[in-house]
Amino acid sequence: MTRAGFRVSAQNLDQEALWKIKADSGISPDISSCHTGFLDGYFIEGHVPAGDVQKLILERPSALGLSVPGMPIGSPGMEMGNRQDPYDTLLILKDGSYKVFQSHLGLRI
């Protein structure tokens, strides 16, 4: 994220505190991942590409935030050589439902 121009401030929290923050922010277990961040009134959950975050900030949809559930291989921070599994970045709506915000098709070499 810093390479994309975002200023990052990180904190390590115990699991209980982290899950409380996630629940209070509308991040349910089915859309959760390992990292939780906040930017301009949105949450960013998991290994969301910087380009998707930039698109979110530009478009400013009525939503809670973005999530890449799990830790898909090839997502930012989950690189494994040239392998890239397909995954979706989800837009989490204010009612807790979600829809695909951006698809990442992946590439196997």
Q: Band the pLDDT of 7: cuts 50, 70, 90.
A: confident
Q: What is the pLDDT of residues 65-98, one digit of tens each?
A: 999 998 888 787 788 888 888 899 999 999 999 9
Alpha-carbon 25 to chain mean position: 13
So what's the pLDDT on residue 109?
Answer: 47
Token pair recorded at residue 52 = 């998707």
Instruction: Using the predicted structure, report yes or no on whether residue 105 has a pLDDT greater than 60.
Output: yes
Q: What is the pLDDT of residues 12-66, one digit of tens each?
A: 889 999 999 999 999 999 999 988 999 999 999 989 999 999 999 999 999 999 9
How far is it, in rounded angstroms, from Cα 88 to Cα 22?
Answer: 20
Are residues 65 and 43 in contact, defined by beta-carbon separation less than 8 angstroms? yes
How far is it, in rounded angstroms, from Cα 27 to Cα 98?
Answer: 11
Q: Which amino acid is at 80?
A: M
CA of 13: how far to CAs of 2, 5, 36, 48, 83, in Å?
Answer: 21, 25, 11, 20, 31
